[in-house]
Amino acid sequence: MQILDGKALAQNIENKIQKEVEILNKQGITPGLAVILVGGDPASQSYVNMKAKACKRTGIYSITHEMPENIQQESLLQTIAMLNQNPNIDGILVQLPLPKHIDTTAVLEAIAPHKDVDGFHPFNMGRILANLDGFIPATPMGVITLLKHYHITLQGKNVVVVGASNIVGKPLGALFLNENATITLCHIYTQDLAKFTKEADILCVAVGKPNLITKDIVKENAVVVDIGISKLEDGRIVGDVDYPNVSPKCSFITPVPGGVGPMTIASLLQNTLKAAKLRPSKH
Ligand code: NAD
């Protein structure tokens, strides 16, 4: 069994980004990321802090717009409109989830597609489905980058993705399809989940339920990518896979933490850099 070390790869990627940012600096460009955080959810705050720190490490300018829980949708949309016009901002990211009174789709659709570094705008989602260049959501992008780094063949493989959200499962399925894998997307309504997971050469899980994936439902020598993040009562961070019992059966497996999490941040930085490189033709 080999560990898919997302932490180490993310570090390599950050080092490369830092060098590219220095080159852009010489051309008078500092890549800029604006993050909008609504409300005081501790998990969201912690993710936003991690993103801001990663920007700082790599020389990307970042600014966080903190807004109260009861913010009116119109004010949020005005902030996005202002950021869309700001020539120093290359990427705009709205930390999800948003409060219930806000229409998340309307907010995501307000972001200019060329600044949509989270890749959640339907424009970029559509481009992924059509296998065209665009912004790929950071978590699915990080998963594919990690697998490719370890030279894991995707073409022709049976890939099962458990969890079918717009931000993780669905785009991840589309990316695997673009790599010529055969994909199965499972979700809460899937009947007999084990029937599918047992057939997976590559099993990716993005649900948020610790120990959902046990060793009896994983194929021998499977590649297992654990995307889930849950905080246990004792403070430990775990994924969706029963790691101690599943890992001996795998050919490759991601740890939690230290697997997909750091790759997500690195991918966001890559997207911001990509947006900055396109800047001269945009303004
Ligand atoms: P979500 O709640 O939007 O979607 C969860 C998905 O899991 C849904 O499609 C649902 O149908 C499915 N599901 C729920 N229970 C199931 C079950 N028993 N069997 C099969 N499918 C089931 O969540 P999300 O935003 O996609 O996030 C999923 C997990 O990934 C969470 O733990 C989240 O914290 C984590 N996550 C991690 C990263 C990272 O960087 N590592 C990034 C994003 C999300």
Q: Is 231 annotated as catalytic? A: no
Question: How does pLDDT run across 150-159, given as a tens digit for each residue?
Answer: 999 999 999 9
Residue 56 has pLDDT above 50, yes or no: yes
pTM exceeds cut of 0.85: yes
CATH of domain 138-260: 3.40.50.720
Residue 282 has pLDDT above 50, yes or no: no
Q: Which atom of ligand 1 is nearest to the CA of 190?
A: 20
Question: How does pLDDT run across 128-143, given as a tens digit for each residue?
Answer: 999 999 999 999 999 9
Cβ–ligand 1 contact at 278 (below 6 Å): no
Per-residue pLDDT averaged across 169-198, rounded? 98
Cβ–ligand 1 contact at 264 (below 6 Å): yes
Which residues of the chain are in CATH 3.40.50.720 domains?
138-260
* CATH of the domain spanning 28-112, picked from 3.50.50.60, 1.10.357.10, 3.40.50.720, 3.40.50.10860: 3.40.50.10860
Per-residue pLDDT averaged across 61-66, rounded? 98
Catalytic-labelled residue, pool 51, 115, 170, 274: 51
Average pLDDT, the chain: 97
Residue 11 has pLDDT above 50, yes or no: yes
Residue 281 has pLDDT above 70, yes or no: no
Our mutation pick for probing the ligand 1 site, out of 141, 203, 207, counting the most ligand atoms within 8 A of Cβ, is 207
pLDDT of residue 279: 87
Per-residue pLDDT averaged across 233-248, rounded? 97
**Ligand 1 atom 39: residue of nearest CA:** 261
In DSSP terms, 226 is beta-bridged to: 205
* H/E run at residue 9: helix 6-26
How far, in Å, are 145, 173, 198, 281 from residue 139 at the CA level?
10, 12, 24, 28
| 231 three-state secondary structure | strand
Question: How does pLDDT run across 13-50, given as a tens digit for each residue?
Answer: 999 999 999 999 999 999 999 999 999 999 999 999 99
Considering only CA atoms, which of 196, 251, 194, 187 is closest in space to residue 225?
251
Q: Is 118 annotated as catalytic? A: yes
b/e code 214-245 from CB counts within 10 Å (16+ = b): eeebbbeebbbbbbbbbeeeeeeebbbbbbee
The contacts of residue 35 (CB under 8 Å, 6+ apart) are 48, 51, 52, 62, 63, 64, 65, 93, 94, 95
Residue 280 has pLDDT above 80, yes or no: no
High-pLDDT (> 90) share of the chain, %: 98
Cβ–ligand 1 contact at 165 (below 6 Å): yes
pLDDT of residue 147: 99
* Ligand 1 center–CA 185 separation, angstroms: 12
Which residues of the chain are in CATH 3.40.50.10860 domains?
28-112
Per-residue pLDDT averaged across 147-173, rounded? 98
